[in-house]
Amino acid sequence: MLSPSQAPPTIPSKSANSTSNCARKSDVGWRTSPPHTGQGDSREAAMEEIEKFTKKIEEERLILIKPANSEHTFKVSETLLCQSSDYFVKAVQGAFKEASTATLTLPGASLDTIQLFIYWLYH
């Protein structure tokens, strides 16, 4: 686990001018709060939005991530990975074997670092 004196890893932000095939959170309906339909929210409208969201999650491609020195693996949303950094866009959508295997080994990244990154990614 990282001690308070260790700085968390820095992940380059996705630039606004970048052109990527990765969907953005807003494109796939990711939200951080319950669905709202505006004035007079109805249960039916909220449930419809929830059903659309869960359908998109079912269809979401997951990328297997693992540190180079561990057998531990994590399944992570391709959309979230690509949104976080151009590195991941190139790795999982480029002409690399990772794109076809949907598996990404991160040399030099410890298990703790990957866990911290995934926590940050989903929060």
Q: What are phi and psi of 66, to 5 degrees?
A: -150, 145
Q: For residue 19, what pLDDT is reported?
A: 43
Backbone dihedral region of 2: left (phi > 0), alpha (psi from -120 to 50 degrees) or beta? beta
Confidence (pLDDT) at 55 = 83
Q: What is the pLDDT of residue 35?
A: 57
Ordered mean pLDDT values, 10 residues apiece, the chain (123 residues) = 48 44 51 56 86 82 90 92 91 88 91 93 89
Look at residue 54 in the predicted model and tell me its pLDDT: 82
* Closest by CA position to 20, among listed 101, 75, 92: 92
Taking the C-alpha atoms of residue 123 and residue 115, their distance in angstroms, rounded to an integer, is 12
Sequence ranges of the domains in the chain: 61-122
CATH 3.30.710.10 is held by the domain 61-122:
yes
As a dihedral over the C-alpha atoms of residue 22, residue 112, residue 12, residue 79, rounded to 10 degrees, the angle is 10
Q: Comparing C-alpha atoms, which of 45, 52, 14, 12 is closest to residue 31?
A: 52
SS3 65: strand
